Structures are given as C-alpha cells and as structure tokens.
Structure 1
Amino acid sequence: MDNEKVIDMKPKMNLKTGRTISMFVILGLIVLLALNSFVIVEAGNRGIVLQLGAVKPIVLNEGLHFKIPFIQEVIPAEVRVQKAQSEQTAASKDLQVVTTVVAVNFHLNPEEVNKLYQNVGLAYKERIVDPAIGEALKAVTAQYTAEELISKRPEVSIKVKEQLAKKLANYNMVLDEINITEFKFSNEFNNAIEQKQVAEQQALKAKLDLQRVEIEAKQKIEQAKAEAESLRLQKQEVTPELVELRKIEAQMEAIKKWDGKLPNVTGGATPFIDVNGIK
C-alpha cells in the first residue's frame, strides 16, 4: 500500500486560461465604468446632479456630460412650457358661488431646477401649481361681483396672473400665460341674469318707441309751422293785380270748357263772360 500512488482527480487550471479570464473581467469592469461615466441631457431638459444623494449646486445643460461612476447620479428635469388646467370654486364679492376653469402655461427656471428639486421634488404640479392657482383665483374672485367677473374678464385675468406669477416665482417657476376659459354660476343666478336682460331689452324698446313718438311729434309741429309760414307768405303776396289775373284765368278756363250751346234747362245758369275784362 505504501508503494501505491495517490492520483489527484481535480483538473488543473491552465495558467494561460486563468489570465484570459482575468483580462475579460477587467475589460468588463472598464466598459461598465465607461458607460457609467457619461450622461446625455436631452433637449428641453436640464440635469440635476446628485452626489451620494445630496443635490450639487450645479445644473447640466443639454448634451453629453461626465459624472463620477456609482457616486453621482443625474436627474433630468423638463424646462419646456407645460400646461396645467384647473377647475376651482370660489365666492364672489356678492356671495355668488362661481366655478372657474383656468388653463395655465408655465415653465421651470432652467438655472434653478436643482433648488426646485431639493425643496419640492418633481411632483411640483400637484404640490405647488394646482394649489397656487386655486389660491390666486379665490383671492381675486372675492374682489368682484358675479356680473363684474363676466364684464371685466380681462381685468380679472391680469390680476390672477400677477398673483399666480408671484407664488410660482417663490418655487423657481415662471408663469407664461393664463386663460380663463369659463365662469360657471348657479342656476338661480343664471335665471336672474336672463330676466334682467329681458327687462333691459324691454326698457330699451320702450325708450326707443318714446323717442320715435317724440321725433314724429316734432316733425308734425315743424310741418305745421312750415305750412302756416307758407300761408302767411302767400297772403302777403296777394295783390289787386293778382286777383284780376286769377279772374281772367278762371274765365278763360270756362271758355275752354263751354261748347257754345245755351243750356236747355230753364233756370239754368249761363256762363257769364266778361268780354270787357278780356283784353
């Protein structure tokens, strides 16, 4: 038994094979490090740099950037114009319930997205924008009556925009534009407005009718004055010569109409012609 040789059944690894495997592992690590060393910030975005979870005071612009692998992380934040639409219910100055639908266009301040992320995060619409819209609308709506909200809509929009812009600026956002698309009121108020419009139309019609009657009356008075003045002038122009002329004209007209025969009826009138008057 002492002369028997113990045969090692474990396969011996070739030294060359081991080196090859090590090279592949190292190469894989290098590739992995290379892939994690660069980041691309897409168009319309900015990059927020986190280093071991802490927000760095730098903002990456669009394009390719280097970052420390496994140490730094880049969070993209969109800086294009975004839209938020909200429906808010508030009370007017005359205590009417008003439901307002408003559309808001805004964008993140590109240079301050890191601060926004640090203070608010990326859920800024739900946390900041929507509540700010409601607060601004309620504050402005309370300054106007329900009818003024309709008749002074441009003025209301300007005031809402001013207040909302200030609130968003506190969180590094920029307000671009607002559009109040609709004011909704209660059915009772809508009926009251409709009745008021009908009454105003009737009053306007009555006023126009009165003006028409007054104008017609004035026209008749002026016409009567003109006729009276015409008669007065005609009387002033009547002279003895004009009277004689009218007589002659009447006699000439009678001659034209007479057929030269005397009437057969007794007692009938015979046209009398003053021959001496005709010269």
Structure 2
Amino acid sequence: MPADMNDYFKKKKPSNNSMNTNNNSGGGGNFNNPLSGMGKGAPWMFIIVVIGFALFVLKPFTIINSGEVGIKINTGKFEQEPLGAGLHFFVPVLQKIIPVNTRIRMITYSDVRTGELGDAYRNLEGGLKRNPAITVLDKRGLTVNIDIAVQYRLKAETAPATIEKWGASWEEKIINSKVREVVRDVVGRYTAEQLPEMRNEIAAAIETKVKESVDSLENRPVILASVELRTINLPPKIKDQIERVQIAKQDVTIAEQEKEKAKQQAQRAAEVARGEAERNRIEAQGEADKIRIEAEEQAKANRLISDSLSPELLQLEQIKTQNKFNEALKVNKDAQIFLTPGGAVPNIWVDAKGKEKQRLMGQQ
C-alpha cells in the first residue's frame, strides 16, 4: 500500500485517549462492548444462558413414566426399539418422542351412564372408554342390545410397529371392530328367547372368538385380558313372554315339589304304619309265647306234683288237716264238719253259728 494511504488511515484511526474521552463525554457515535468490564468468564456465562434459554424454549427431552413406552421418530421414521421409563433426549425439529400408554385399558359397550374409574387421574391413567351398547339381530331378526366390557393392553415390545401400522386410533381398528364383529356373529345364531338360557355359553364363545381374532394379527400387537358379557337387553315383548314362561315353569316346579312332598309324607306314613303293625305283631307274639311258656311250665309243675303224690302222702296231709280242724273246734264249737267220699279233700267245715244268725236275720 502507498505511504500516503498508510498515513491517511493512521490519521483516521482514533486513539485510546480520544475513545475514553468520548465515552466519558457520553458520545453515542462509537460502539461500547458491554462484556469488556466483566472479565474473561463473561462469554462463557453468556453461552450458558443462551443454551439454558434454548433448552427451556425448545425442550429437547421428555420423561417416560412407568406403564408407558416411548416411540422415537427420526425425520419421520419410527425406530422399532421402544424407549423405557426415564429421561430421554432428542434433537428438536429432526426428532420427536411419543409416549404411549401400555397399562391395562378398558372399553365398555353400554347405554347406562355411570362414573368412570380414574377420571380424576386421566392425565396419568387413561385407557377408559365408553361406547354405546352393541345392537345385534337375533336369529329371527329381532333387535337385541348387548352390554359388554373388554380389558386389554398394548404390547410394549411391538408398540412402535403397531402405532406405525395402525396409527393413533389402533383401538378402534383392532379392538372395537373385532368385538362388534364377533358379538354379532355369536349372538345372531340364537333366538331372543334362548339368549338368557344360553348366557354362559354365549359369554364363553364371545371371549374365545375375540381372543382368537386379536391374537391372529401379525406380531400380536394387543394382549387381551378379558371379555365380560354384562347384560343382554331384550325387546320388551320378548322379555314379558320370557317372564310369563318362567312363572309357568315355577308353578309347575312348585306343583311337582308339592307332589313329591306328599308322596314322601305318604311313604313316611306307610313306613310308620308298617312299623306299628310289626311292633304289635311282635308284642302279640311275645305275649303268646309268654302264655305258652307259662302253660308249659305249669303243666310241668302239675306233672311233677302228680308224680310226687302217694297214698301215704295223702294220708299224712289228711292227718294235718284233721289236726287243724280239731284246733278250730276248740275255738268255735258250733262248727260243722263234712266228710267227702274218696278222701280227695279230707274235711270241709263251716261256721254253724254264723249260719244261724243268717237264718234269724232272714226271718226278721
């Protein structure tokens, strides 16, 4: 550069003294560095503040709670490895993390409005949905409403692939459509009158077929916990008819029970009568046996007595009796003594004095 040009720029460059003078005088024409008086660490502090502000505004991180998995999207492409619970960072604009609930979820199909469990914790809990009751045509074309409840959860291992394939409305596409299809297919095989009687079989068939239908999907994206048949709402006319039939069956059952009761009572009475007759027979037989035995013993005794009698014994007995009469005559001198022939009874005596009294009383 020519010397004159160098001299020119030197003359144009302000000196340090002149800059300080201008600053003190408050001149606004020259630039003043605000960090010049904060020391060497000022730039780093400024950088930290900027980074903190960027983190606060852009928020390049998210927290995955327990019972959830995170799905990371890189420039619109889903990563197939789900993120577990904890803190995860991503690059704003280029990346995004979507938390997905993997807890037990429930869909109820009912026209009864009741409070849902967990409403106060919806931001954390979620997974509670209510749909109208499923309207089904029975075998004859009558309308029947089915109340049902389904519990299920999203499979955590395949959650990214499930959301990528089925989208955010995967519940409607997988659970809701399968349940309605199976319920209509199963219930449509029966007439409305058969539904209450076949309730257990219908409930088992619905649960089995819904599980088979959901499990048959690729990678089994949803794990089905239970399918509960709650209520079968029949048309009013069919309901009244079923009630009349049930009342008639109950009347028949009561009549049969009364008949069986009367039969049992008759059987008990017959048993009692047979027992009484048997008891009387046994008692009569016992009495007859007693009389027979007594007669036999008496006959034996008579035979023994007869065999033991002899003329000498009879004569001795006659002498004993005669002595008794003699003793009696000492006391009652009016006694009369009769001798019987044959000596079977040695003597018979009567009180003659008593007989005289009786004659005198008769004359009076």
TM-score after normalising by structure 1: 0.67
The answer (yes or no) to whether the contact 2:193–2:238 under 8 Å persists in 1 is no
Q: How does 1:185-264 map to 2 (within 5 A)?
A: 185-215=234-264
Equivalent in the alignment of 2:181: 135
Give the deviation of 1:83 after TM superposition.
1.2
Give yes or no for the alignment of 1:12 onto 2:30: yes
In 2, are the aligned partners of 1:90 and 1:99 still within 8 Å (CA)? yes
2:222 is aligned to 173
**How far apart are residue 64 of structure 1 and its match?**
1.5
CA distance in 1, matches of 2:60, 2:244: 72
CA distance, structure 2, for counterparts of residue 145 and residue 42 of structure 1: 48
Tell me the CA shift for residue 143 of structure 1.
3.5
Q: Determine the C-alpha separation between the residues in 1 that align with 2:94 and 2:63.
A: 17
Q: Residue 55 and residue 220 in structure 1: after superposition, are their counterparts in 2 closer, same or farther (change >3 A)?
A: closer
1:120 pairs with 2:166: yes
Where does residue 100 of structure 2 map in the other structure?
77
CA deviation digits over 1:83-104, x for unaligned, max 9?
Answer: 1111101133455432111111
Matches within 5 A, 1:1-80: 11-14=29-32, 16-17=33-34, 26-27=47-48, 30-31=51-52, 32=54, 36-80=59-103
Whether the 8 Å contact between 2:80 and 2:158 is mirrored in structure 1 is: no
- Residue segments in structure 1 that go unaligned for 5+ positions in a row: 1-8, 243-279
Contact kept? 1:79, 1:109, Cα under 8 Å:
yes
| Distance in 2 between residues matched to 1:98 and 1:61, nearest whole Å | 45
Amino acid at match of 2:212: K
Q: How far off its partner does 1:168 sit?
A: 3.5
Q: Aligned to 2:168, what secondary structure does the other structure show?
A: coil
Residue 179 to residue 13, structure 1, CA distance change in 2 (3 Å): same
The structure number with the bigger radius of gyration is: 2
Higher mean C-alpha displacement, 142-151 vs 83-92: 142-151
How far, CA to CA, are the matches of 1:174 and 1:94 in structure 2?
35
Closer/same/farther in 2, CA of residues 12 and 141 from structure 1, 3 Å limit: same
Aligned-pair identity in percent equals 23
Equivalent AA in structure 2 for residue 193 of structure 1: I
Mark the CA change 1:116 to 1:92 in structure 2 (over 3 Å): closer, same or farther: same
Cα pair distance change 1:208/1:162, threshold 3 Å: closer
Shift of 1:109: 0.5
Unaligned stretches of 5+ residues in structure 2: 1-26, 110-132, 293-364
Q: 1:84, 1:125 within 8 Å by CA — same for their partners in 2?
A: no
Task: Tell me if structure 2 keeps the 8 A contact 1:49–1:55.
Answer: yes
Q: Which has the higher contact order (CA 8 A, sep 6+)?
A: 1
Maintained 8 Å contact 2:154/2:223 = yes
How much does 1:153 deviate?
3.0
Q: Among residues 143, 146, 170, which one is paired with 1:97 in the alignment?
A: 143
Aligned residue pairs, count: 233
Does the 8 Å contact 1:38/1:65 carry over to 2?
yes
Contact kept? 1:36, 1:67, Cα under 8 Å: no
Question: Which segment drifts farther, 166-175 or 130-139?
Answer: 166-175
Q: Secondary structure of 2:158's partner?
A: helix
Write the distance in 2 (CA, Å) between the matches of 1:22 and 1:130.
59
Question: Residue deviations 1:156-205, cap 9 Å, x none?
Answer: 22322222223434261111112222111011111111111121122223
CA RMSD of aligned residues (A): 3.8
State the alpha-carbon separation in 2 of the partners of residues 36 and 227 from structure 1.
101
SS at match of 2:34: helix
The DSSP-based 3-state class of the residue aligned with 2:93 is coil
Aligned residues of 1:36 and 1:70 also touching (Cα < 8 A): no
CA-to-partner distance for each residue in 1:137-157, whole Å, 9 max, x for gaps? Answer: 112212444454333433322
